[in-house]
Amino acid sequence: MIEMLFATHNPNKLAEVQQLLPDHIKLLSLRDMGCKADIPETATTLKGNAKLKADFGLATYHLPCFADDTGLLVTALNGAPGVHSARYAGPQNNAEANMAKLLRALGDKEDRRAKFQTVIALNMNGQTLYFKGEVQGSIRKEKSGSGGFGYDPIFEPQGYDITFAEMPLDTKNSIGHRGKAFSKLIAHLGSLPAVK
Protein backbone atom coordinates (compact mmCIF):
# COMPACT_ATOMS: atom_id res chain seq x y z
CA MET A 1 0.00 0.00 0.00
CA ILE A 2 1.37 3.39 -1.04
CA GLU A 3 0.24 6.49 0.83
CA MET A 4 0.01 9.65 -1.24
CA LEU A 5 -1.20 13.11 -0.35
CA PHE A 6 -3.60 14.99 -2.59
CA ALA A 7 -3.09 18.62 -1.53
CA THR A 8 -6.73 19.66 -1.53
CA HIS A 9 -9.43 20.57 0.98
CA ASN A 10 -12.15 19.93 -1.61
CA PRO A 11 -14.14 16.74 -0.83
CA ASN A 12 -15.72 16.76 -4.31
CA LYS A 13 -12.32 16.62 -6.00
CA LEU A 14 -11.17 13.92 -3.58
CA ALA A 15 -14.19 11.73 -4.39
CA GLU A 16 -13.65 12.15 -8.14
CA VAL A 17 -9.99 11.22 -7.94
CA GLN A 18 -10.40 8.34 -5.46
CA GLN A 19 -12.74 6.69 -7.96
CA LEU A 20 -9.95 6.72 -10.55
CA LEU A 21 -7.10 5.39 -8.40
CA PRO A 22 -5.99 1.75 -8.16
CA ASP A 23 -6.67 0.02 -4.83
CA HIS A 24 -3.00 -0.13 -3.78
CA ILE A 25 -2.77 3.66 -3.49
CA LYS A 26 -4.22 5.11 -0.30
CA LEU A 27 -5.14 8.71 -0.95
CA LEU A 28 -5.00 11.23 1.88
CA SER A 29 -6.28 14.80 1.74
CA LEU A 30 -5.21 17.90 3.65
CA ARG A 31 -8.30 17.37 5.78
CA ASP A 32 -7.08 13.86 6.68
CA MET A 33 -3.78 15.42 7.80
CA GLY A 34 -5.59 17.91 10.03
CA CYS A 35 -4.38 20.79 7.84
CA LYS A 36 -6.54 23.89 7.94
CA ALA A 37 -4.09 26.14 6.09
CA ASP A 38 -5.35 27.84 2.95
CA ILE A 39 -2.35 27.44 0.65
CA PRO A 40 -1.80 30.73 -1.22
CA GLU A 41 -2.37 30.37 -4.97
CA THR A 42 -0.29 33.32 -6.05
CA ALA A 43 1.13 32.02 -9.33
CA THR A 44 -0.01 33.45 -12.65
CA THR A 45 -0.57 30.05 -14.28
CA LEU A 46 -2.44 26.85 -13.45
CA LYS A 47 0.88 24.97 -13.57
CA GLY A 48 2.45 27.38 -11.10
CA ASN A 49 -0.43 27.12 -8.63
CA ALA A 50 -0.44 23.32 -8.81
CA LYS A 51 3.29 23.31 -8.00
CA LEU A 52 2.85 25.70 -5.05
CA LYS A 53 0.31 23.32 -3.49
CA ALA A 54 2.31 20.16 -4.23
CA ASP A 55 5.45 21.77 -2.77
CA PHE A 56 3.56 22.71 0.40
CA GLY A 57 2.26 19.16 0.82
CA LEU A 58 5.65 17.52 0.35
CA ALA A 59 7.51 19.97 2.59
CA THR A 60 4.91 19.83 5.38
CA TYR A 61 3.97 16.13 5.46
CA HIS A 62 6.95 14.38 3.79
CA LEU A 63 4.71 12.18 1.61
CA PRO A 64 4.64 11.88 -2.17
CA CYS A 65 2.24 14.67 -3.02
CA PHE A 66 0.26 15.89 -5.97
CA ALA A 67 -1.98 18.89 -6.43
CA ASP A 68 -4.07 20.23 -9.25
CA ASP A 69 -5.26 23.59 -10.40
CA THR A 70 -8.17 23.95 -12.75
CA GLY A 71 -9.38 26.90 -14.75
CA LEU A 72 -12.27 27.71 -17.03
CA LEU A 73 -11.05 29.66 -20.06
CA VAL A 74 -13.77 31.51 -21.99
CA THR A 75 -12.83 32.58 -25.51
CA ALA A 76 -14.96 35.76 -25.65
CA LEU A 77 -13.52 36.89 -22.30
CA ASN A 78 -9.89 36.53 -23.46
CA GLY A 79 -9.39 33.37 -21.40
CA ALA A 80 -11.01 34.67 -18.21
CA PRO A 81 -11.68 33.61 -15.53
CA GLY A 82 -8.69 31.28 -16.09
CA VAL A 83 -6.31 31.08 -13.13
CA HIS A 84 -8.83 33.09 -11.07
CA SER A 85 -11.73 30.68 -11.69
CA ALA A 86 -12.27 29.62 -8.05
CA ARG A 87 -12.32 33.20 -6.78
CA TYR A 88 -13.65 34.98 -9.86
CA ALA A 89 -16.39 36.77 -7.88
CA GLY A 90 -14.29 37.32 -4.76
CA PRO A 91 -12.16 35.58 -2.13
CA GLN A 92 -15.06 33.58 -0.69
CA ASN A 93 -14.77 30.95 -3.49
CA ASN A 94 -18.55 30.88 -4.03
CA ALA A 95 -19.66 28.84 -7.04
CA GLU A 96 -23.05 30.55 -7.38
CA ALA A 97 -21.49 34.02 -7.33
CA ASN A 98 -18.80 32.91 -9.81
CA MET A 99 -21.39 31.57 -12.26
CA ALA A 100 -23.56 34.67 -11.93
CA LYS A 101 -20.59 36.95 -12.65
CA LEU A 102 -19.55 34.85 -15.66
CA LEU A 103 -23.06 34.85 -17.13
CA ARG A 104 -23.26 38.64 -16.67
CA ALA A 105 -19.85 39.09 -18.33
CA LEU A 106 -20.90 36.99 -21.33
CA GLY A 107 -24.35 38.57 -21.58
CA ASP A 108 -25.89 37.76 -24.96
CA LYS A 109 -22.58 37.17 -26.75
CA GLU A 110 -22.93 34.66 -29.57
CA ASP A 111 -19.45 33.19 -29.06
CA ARG A 112 -19.81 31.06 -25.94
CA ARG A 113 -16.85 28.74 -26.54
CA ALA A 114 -14.91 27.71 -23.47
CA LYS A 115 -12.59 25.03 -22.22
CA PHE A 116 -11.79 23.55 -18.85
CA GLN A 117 -8.12 22.85 -18.21
CA THR A 118 -6.51 20.95 -15.33
CA VAL A 119 -2.79 20.79 -14.58
CA ILE A 120 -1.45 18.37 -11.96
CA ALA A 121 1.96 18.70 -10.32
CA LEU A 122 3.37 15.51 -8.78
CA ASN A 123 6.27 15.68 -6.31
CA MET A 124 7.76 12.21 -6.03
CA ASN A 125 11.24 10.66 -5.96
CA GLY A 126 12.93 14.07 -5.93
CA GLN A 127 11.31 15.45 -9.05
CA THR A 128 8.21 17.35 -10.16
CA LEU A 129 6.19 16.02 -13.10
CA TYR A 130 3.20 17.67 -14.75
CA PHE A 131 0.06 16.17 -16.31
CA LYS A 132 -2.52 18.18 -18.26
CA GLY A 133 -6.08 17.54 -19.39
CA GLU A 134 -8.63 19.71 -21.11
CA VAL A 135 -12.13 19.56 -22.52
CA GLN A 136 -13.70 21.89 -25.05
CA GLY A 137 -17.27 23.08 -24.73
CA SER A 138 -19.50 26.11 -24.36
CA ILE A 139 -21.22 28.18 -21.69
CA ARG A 140 -24.98 27.85 -21.36
CA LYS A 141 -27.11 30.96 -20.85
CA GLU A 142 -28.58 29.50 -17.68
CA LYS A 143 -27.80 26.78 -15.16
CA SER A 144 -28.95 23.21 -15.64
CA GLY A 145 -28.42 20.15 -13.41
CA SER A 146 -27.68 19.60 -9.74
CA GLY A 147 -24.57 17.38 -9.86
CA GLY A 148 -20.91 18.30 -10.01
CA PHE A 149 -19.52 21.50 -8.55
CA GLY A 150 -18.01 24.83 -9.57
CA TYR A 151 -19.08 25.89 -13.06
CA ASP A 152 -20.49 22.46 -13.98
CA PRO A 153 -24.14 23.64 -14.24
CA ILE A 154 -23.32 26.10 -17.06
CA PHE A 155 -20.64 24.13 -18.95
CA GLU A 156 -21.78 21.94 -21.84
CA PRO A 157 -18.95 19.74 -23.16
CA GLN A 158 -18.50 19.51 -26.92
CA GLY A 159 -20.53 16.70 -28.47
CA TYR A 160 -23.14 16.61 -25.67
CA ASP A 161 -26.42 18.41 -25.14
CA ILE A 162 -26.25 18.29 -21.34
CA THR A 163 -24.06 20.09 -18.81
CA PHE A 164 -21.44 18.50 -16.59
CA ALA A 165 -23.92 18.94 -13.72
CA GLU A 166 -26.41 16.68 -15.54
CA MET A 167 -23.90 13.88 -16.17
CA PRO A 168 -23.17 10.82 -14.05
CA LEU A 169 -19.78 11.15 -12.35
CA ASP A 170 -18.23 8.27 -14.32
CA THR A 171 -19.19 9.92 -17.62
CA LYS A 172 -17.79 13.26 -16.51
CA ASN A 173 -14.56 11.54 -15.40
CA SER A 174 -14.17 9.77 -18.72
CA ILE A 175 -14.48 12.91 -20.87
CA GLY A 176 -13.56 15.69 -18.44
CA HIS A 177 -10.42 17.73 -17.95
CA ARG A 178 -9.67 16.41 -14.47
CA GLY A 179 -10.32 12.80 -15.52
CA LYS A 180 -7.95 13.15 -18.48
CA ALA A 181 -5.20 14.71 -16.38
CA PHE A 182 -5.57 12.14 -13.62
CA SER A 183 -5.62 9.28 -16.12
CA LYS A 184 -2.16 10.43 -17.24
CA LEU A 185 -1.03 10.66 -13.59
CA ILE A 186 -2.38 7.18 -12.81
CA ALA A 187 -0.75 5.68 -15.91
CA HIS A 188 2.54 7.14 -14.70
CA LEU A 189 2.07 5.80 -11.15
CA GLY A 190 1.22 2.37 -12.54
CA SER A 191 4.48 2.31 -14.50
CA LEU A 192 6.64 2.79 -11.39
CA PRO A 193 8.20 -0.39 -9.92
CA ALA A 194 7.51 0.89 -6.40
CA VAL A 195 3.75 0.81 -6.89
CA LYS A 196 3.36 -2.43 -8.83
Between CA 80 and CA 78 the distance in angstroms is: 6
For 79, other C-beta atoms within 10 Å of its C-beta total 15
Non-local (6+) Cβ contacts of 90 within 8 A are 97
Choosing from 23, 32, 38, 69, which is the catalytic residue? 69
Between CA 20 and CA 23 the distance in angstroms is: 9
69 part of the active site: yes
Q: Most distant CA pair in the chain: distance in Å?
A: 53
The residues assigned a catalytic role are 69
